[in-house]
Structure 1
């Protein structure tokens, strides 16, 4: 088989896997007990295609969690957490994360197995979040005595609540602005 034909087959296989993972997110979000056959039907692929790519339901679930974790890590990277001014980075990252979490809510709620790549990615994301918060603290945006691990947990809770509570028609940028404003200023009057 020529190099072009092999690339075409790889691209087709990647598209099939992506279609299966996207379908798995939709189907499992609606029915966590859905079968591999239901996922295959929703993806528009043969059941054998799903079984050829994923040995069993658990391997599909693990692949789904890993794919979502990778997308979340990319959303953080795209916000330029190390180089953008802290407030800009926080806003970009928040808007990006809202989009990924909105699209992959089921997969991102799956527990990452200890020692898994998804767990390592989540740990890295947590650390990078604290690093951005530390930069914001150095710029005087966050009180110097604040416990940044606590601030990170509050930040994550604000993101989670904004997704669970509905956006009220607000897009990711407006929600990100609301989350960052609440994180930095609370609910009290602005001075």
Structure 2
């Protein structure tokens, strides 16, 4: 069964199960398939028709994560403009991934694996390399350090959003300010 060809009721049911899996696993990585089927508002038998076991469901969540990372890369236009601007757009696009970020940060979903499949990891690497070459990113920082700061800042932003301690517009503003100040090339 391929995801892209599913439409109608089957496609909506599969999407509901995957969305519920992301939500439930973000709250409890050890959640049972029964908890996921309840959250998806489908019977356990229905869940098993789509995903016979937990491993297949987690694999599908990984595939969905990769697809969403690819969409985030497209929205962020990582291949356009100065490197710093691309990374700032990436922060905004990634923040929209919601509970999927929790799965990435807790290791339920591998950023490297699912991000590589849809070109996200390479697009992020290229934006860092471009930013170092175009002078918008601090040349004293390595590409891996640049990305580490981006992901660390994103973790803080997502934590604030998830906990509801800071209004969303403030989270975005503070995230972008932090990343800009941490990664930008020093003024001449």
TM, length-normalised to structure 2: 0.78
Match of 2:74 in 1: 77
5+ residue gaps in structure 1? Answer: 1-6
5+ residue gaps in structure 2? Answer: none
Distance of 1:80 and 1:113 partners within structure 2? 19
Equivalent residues of 2:84, 2:131 under 8 A apart: yes
Quick check: 1:37 aligned with 2:49? no
The superposition leaves residues 69-97 of structure 1 with CA deviations (integer Å, 9 ceiling, x where unpaired) of 22012101221111234343222211000
Counterparts in 2 of 1:32 and 1:83: CA distance versus 1, 3 Å = closer
Counterparts in 2 of 1:53 and 1:132: CA distance versus 1, 3 Å = same
Match of 1:3 in 2: none
> How far does residue 36 in structure 1 lie from its aligned partner after superposition?
1.5
Distance of 1:178 and 1:185 partners within structure 2? 10
Counterparts in 2 of 1:134 and 1:112: CA distance versus 1, 3 Å = closer
The superposition leaves residues 2-22 of structure 1 with CA deviations (integer Å, 9 ceiling, x where unpaired) of xxxxx9x83211110110111
How many positions carry a matched residue from both structures? 178
Match of 2:143 in 1: 148
Match of 1:4 in 2: none
Match of 1:181 in 2: 180
The superposition leaves residues 69-128 of structure 1 with CA deviations (integer Å, 9 ceiling, x where unpaired) of 22012101221111234343222211000111x2313432314499x6x26338x43332
Distance of 2:63 and 2:121 partners within structure 1? 16
Misfit runs of 4+, over 4 Å = none
